[in-house]
Amino acid sequence: MTGLHVAIIMDGNGRWARSQGKPRWRGHVEGVESVRRIVRAAPDLGVSVLTLYAFSADNWKRPRMEVGRLFWLLKRYCVSERNELISRGVRVTAIGRRDRIPTPALHALQQLERETASGTKLHLRLAIDYSARAEVARATRELGQRVRAGELAPEQMTEELLTQAVTGGVPMPDLLIRTAGERRLSDFLLWELAYTELYFAQTHWPDFRRDDLATALADFRARERRFGGIVEEEEREWAVGA
């Protein structure tokens, strides 16, 4: 599977609902519709991996009724979208903790993962009960346990090995999009975003459409990615100056 890895912080559901004079939960319902639209559009726009920040570890601080409705929406999405995701060749996996996900939603999610495992057109990753700091800590503990067991020497705990433990081999994101005008990472993919291009959209997530994704991707493709290096023309300038 080749193509871009795009990560999205889907922000603004509650603010969208307030602007419409609706309860917050209606914003989450409309947010699911945006997920459906973007999943459909992503492969045609050159995206092969799509990571969505669905529920952060900090979201447990929200009112219990809102949290319950979010996991009800997760279960409904896993059930209602199953056939379309399979037919479109979408593979679904989840990252983050699973031990706190309510059982009905967890079972639906695990079933969807199993039934879409052969998808090759798009890898849809749902970050649920997710904290980037917690994921780095988990990966570090796992490597430390291997050292204690004698499977790994301390000097073998390299950056590359930790990256593999954190990412599971998924390519680093090329582009991060955050909607609703906020400009922070909110504990999302902190290890992976070292050289990711950032794009902040003013649009609230429920209003985010294919054209919005296309605009973000066009902006990304117009950028010059250096990864800490310099371009060939600057190399020549340095050579002449020397």
The CA R_g of the chain, rounded to the nearest whole Å, is 20
**In the CATH hierarchy, which fold is given to the domain comprising 4-134+172-225?**
Undecaprenyl pyrophosphate synthetase (3.40.1180)
Q: What is the mean predicted confidence (pLDDT) over 85-107?
A: 98
Q: Are 89 and 115 in contact (CB under 8 A)?
A: no
Structure token digits, residue 190: 């902190």
Which candidate in 11, 129, 174, 212 is catalytic?
11
Structure token digits, residue 212: 């919005």
Active site residue 83: no
| Model confidence, pTM | 0.92
Tens of pLDDT along 123-169?
A: 999 999 999 999 999 999 999 999 999 999 999 999 999 999 999 99
Which amino acid would we find at residue 141? R
Tens of pLDDT along 204-230?
A: 999 999 999 999 999 999 999 887 776
Active site residue 59: yes
Which candidate in 13, 44, 59, 174 is catalytic?
59
Alpha-carbon distances, residue 114 vs 59, 88, 109, 189 (angstroms):
26, 15, 9, 24
Going by C-alpha positions, the residue among 190, 169, 168, 186 that lies closest to residue 178 is 186
Annotated domain spans of the chain: 4-134+172-225
Range list of β-strands (E), the chain = 4-9, 47-56, 90-95, 122-130, 175-178, 197-200
